[in-house]
Amino acid sequence: MNSDTHQQALRVVAWETTRRCELQCKHCRGSARNQDYPDELSTEEGICLIDNISSFAKPVLILTGGEPMTRSDIYDLARHATDRGLRVAMAPCGSLINSKTAARIKNAGIQRISISLDGSTAETHDAFRGVKGAFESAINGINYAKKAGIEFQINSTVTRHNVTELPSLLKLAVDLGAAAFDIFFLVPTGRGAALKEMEISPDEYEKALRWVDEASKTSQITVKTTCAPHYARIQTQSTGKRGHGGGCMGGRGFVFVSHRGILQPCGFLDLNCGDLRKEDFNFKKIYEESEVFQNLRKVDNYTGKCGYCEYRYVCGGCRARAYAQSGDYLAEEPSCTYVPRKDL
């Protein structure tokens, strides 16, 4: 069932191209602000990063932030990655998309954008994003993207304040013409740490994942989860076949590159696995040799119930939640209600 080769094959890289952002989202892992971040990777360094990645793998490259569209070179970087054979996606807030920038996104070869909506109305979304008018500007951005023929998905981060809005958020995504509805489950780090009390309980989490499982079977668009590893366990339980959704990919197919060029298992797990600037931009070497990445690939060495759970290879639990809770990134996932059998 387990395979080191599968664990290691690089499938997705998220590059935090900048931390600059005009919004003040309560759950932001980067606690991003509308200010300069002078240490962020330059255009030349970004090209080196893309060249090194594409020399050994062809993952999806997600250009994220902050607000990636505040970088004036974002289209050149996207074009370079596209030309190197990477599938490029981008995660803007939506407010900077107009007819001109939409055309540039399209021409840069960006295959999909994701826009976050955390409430299905202006009232709930704006409250969460911390800026009045954020909902309206995101919808405007979506409409410009649509006109330019750019595929888009809606991302929502689930917290106690919007968990009951999941059906209306899905309806909104369908009505807007999204290709997918991707549901993120809050990881209480960054500005999100102050939101610990907004995190849903393990029982609510289980109920929400069961709703996602049902919705994914009936919805006309793709309904999926991110950072809800035990969704894979729920799918496997519901179909009797190995689930494809969920599962923590941190360091196991997925890498986060910070704005300063630090490689991490993911944006929520703030562990320095290697500094591109100190390692001559040798992404491949860090990805293959970092002790943290190697530890994450040895799922049998996880401690607590995730170390012996029969779903550990498809799920693995969220390493960032384990770290936030206990200081040990190999400890058991605190948000999972499942009680595994010790004798399997």
Best CA proximity match to 33, nearest among 42, 45, 50, 21: 21
* Least Cβ distance, residue 67 to ligand SF4 (angstroms): 21
Q: Which stretches does DSSP call E strand in the chain?
A: 12-16, 60-64, 87-90, 112-116, 151-158, 180-185, 222-226, 254-257, 262-264, 274-275
Q: Which is nearer to ligand SF4, 71 or 319 (CB)?
A: 319
Q: Which two tokens stand for residue 188?
A: 């209480």
Q: Which is nearer to ligand SF4, 112 or 312 (CB)?
A: 312
Query: β-strand 222-226 against 254-257: which pairing, if any?
Result: unpaired
* Least Cβ distance, residue 185 to ligand SF4 (angstroms): 8
* Least Cβ distance, residue 73 to ligand SF4 (angstroms): 27
Contact between 84 and 51 under an 8 Å Cβ cutoff? The reply is yes
Query: β-strand 274-275 against 262-264: which pairing, if any?
Result: antiparallel
* Least Cβ distance, residue 239 to ligand SF4 (angstroms): 15
Q: Which is nearer to ligand SF4, 128 or 311 (CB)?
A: 311
Contact between 42 and 17 under an 8 Å Cβ cutoff? The reply is no
Contact between 44 and 77 under an 8 Å Cβ cutoff? The reply is no
Contact between 175 and 202 under an 8 Å Cβ cutoff? The reply is no
* Least Cβ distance, residue 340 to ligand SF4 (angstroms): 5
Q: Which is nearer to ligand SF4, 123 or 203 (CB)?
A: 203
Q: Which is nearer to ligand SF4, 101 or 290 (CB)?
A: 290
Residues interacting with ligand SF4, by CB under 6 A? 187, 227, 229-230, 233, 248-250, 266, 268-269, 305-306, 309, 311-312, 315-320, 332-333, 336, 338, 340
Q: Say how far apart CA 138 and CA 69 lie, in whole Å.
A: 13
* Least Cβ distance, residue 311 to ligand SF4 (angstroms): 4
